[in-house]
Amino acid sequence: MRWIVLAALPTVLAGCSPAASAIPADPPAEAGAGERTKPTRPGTDWPRFLGPAGDASSPEKGILTTWPKDGLKKVWDCPLGIGYAPPTVAGGRLYHFDRFGDAARVTCRNAETGEFVWKFEYPTDYQDLYGYDSGPRACPVVDGDRLYTYGAEGMLHCLSAADGKEIWKFDTRAKYHFHQNFFGVGSVPAVEGDLLIVAVGGSPKGPRPGDLRDAKGNGSAIVAFDKKTGEVKYAFGDELASYSSPVVTTFGDRRVGLYFARGGLLGFDPAAGKELFHYKWRGRILECVNAANPVVIGDKVLLTECYEKGAAFIQVGAGGAVKEVWTDAGKDRGEQSLMGHWATPIHEGGFVYGCSGRHTAEADLRCLDLATGDVTWRERRTSRCMLLKVDGHLLSFGESGELRLIKLNPKKYEEVAKWDVPGLAYPSWAPPVLSRGLLYVRGKDETTRDGHRLICLELIPKK
């Protein structure tokens, strides 16, 4: 099964050995570096996966729509270790999570200059069972003065955002015995009030940690921790883990948690830790995985996967009753509305825009009418890409480092700018991040064998 290619969330894959990583270590922080991180540019933070609203959208305005021939201005860049987690940005600081040798590393930098501030490391023994990258998949989550990370091996850490000191930690693998699930942990935790909600998907302890054929749940599909102390507040559910991340939303006057788990969508009460509904949506073959986040539109939810089932658009009623609006069930692959791999689709005005296709050569961008599931346009051979919605446009970041700027137009594909980011190569699978006019993209460094690179570009000129 070494031909399987999957990434999630934040995401996965690439063939390099963690022990062989030759990326240089970060330099010692200069005196006063921590005080030089107050932002000087207007705009918003990007403190969690898929941005301030958790839907890959930015409220910022004034983006450059005509790009110079040599592309967007590079503000700074830095080498990274291995891994596929995008950065997060809050309070003038940028945090990223990668791996150097046998150490998982969280690093803090000045978001505007790249100046190194602090780092935190812990030992990791994670090895990918299919020979792909063994670095982190999930991005850091910033909540006030604290930072949370969830490593590929299952270590959960709470750190001080100010200096990177450990506040608490929890080994989910040791406690809940989850199966490795192809490519390790790839789900980003969600903060809800005083809780840190984590997709664990544990199983009874067994001799075959990488074999999902006989895996069964053990009541720890979702585990909630006291975000301040690390105390387990509840655990429930017999679903196994996926690469999607928990989402907490509001239906009517009720807060509801959604997790697109290995077997389908799990709806739950995020305060009490009780299952509200379970909508099964997963292909029949062993290799099928669910990776894209559910997209919430009012009282409806869009799910999509690329291995067999395609998309489902469902309505969630009072008490958790689920009604199908439309689905791709029973359709041939060429007729399915949307086959999203790991990139979460974007909703705008009753239409959804998404990347469809399991493999690079077959992937395309398409727009759907949500009411019917009909495809209104399709742009073929775009490779797999991640999308960000900003200022009336879609920003597409392709897996070989290509940026495209596309107008939000449900009637036709309307590309206004395109540029290959110098220095980045396949696989570039982390979603782009936009904070205070600066666009951050990361991917494989084309100048090295093992390393990755983070590049900061100016998308909104500073006034």
Map out the domains of the chain as residue ranges.
Answer: 18-458
User: Is pLDDT at 337 greater than 50 in this prediction?
Assistant: yes
Measured between alpha carbons, how far is residue 436 from residues 39, 43, 90, 317, 461 in Å?
A: 8, 4, 10, 38, 10
- 3-state secondary structure at position 238: coil
Q: Which amino acid is at 20?
A: A
- The confidence score (pLDDT) of residue 286 equals 84
Least-confidence region, from 119-128, 204-213, 305-314, 412-421? 204-213
Least-confidence region, from 31-40, 77-86, 151-160, 358-367? 31-40
Q: Average pLDDT, stretch 76-96? A: 96
**What one-character-per-residue DSSP string does 253-280 give?**
TEEEEEEE-SSEEEEEETTTTEEEEEEE
- Whole-model pTM: value is 0.93
**Chain segment 17-61, per-residue pLDDT in tens:** 333 344 456 666 676 777 788 999 999 999 999 999 999 999 999
Q: How far is residue 312's CA from residue 310's CA, in Å, rounded to a whole number?
A: 7
**Chain segment 268-304, per-residue pLDDT in tens:** 999 999 999 999 999 888 888 899 999 999 999 999 9
**Structural tokens at position 91:** 């309070």
Q: Percentage of the chain surpassing pLDDT 70?
A: 92
Across the chain, mean pLDDT equals: 91
- 3-state secondary structure at position 425: strand
- Burial tier of 296 (Cβ tally within 10 Å: 0-12, 13-18, 19+): buried
Domain 18-458 CATH assignment equals 2.140.10.10: yes
**Structural tokens at position 168:** 């608490």
Least-confidence region, from 126-140, 198-212, 278-292, 385-399? 198-212
- The confidence score (pLDDT) of residue 21 equals 40
Q: Average pLDDT, stretch 309-330? A: 93
**Chain segment 347-397, per-residue pLDDT in tens:** 999 999 999 999 999 999 999 999 999 999 999 989 999 999 999 999 999
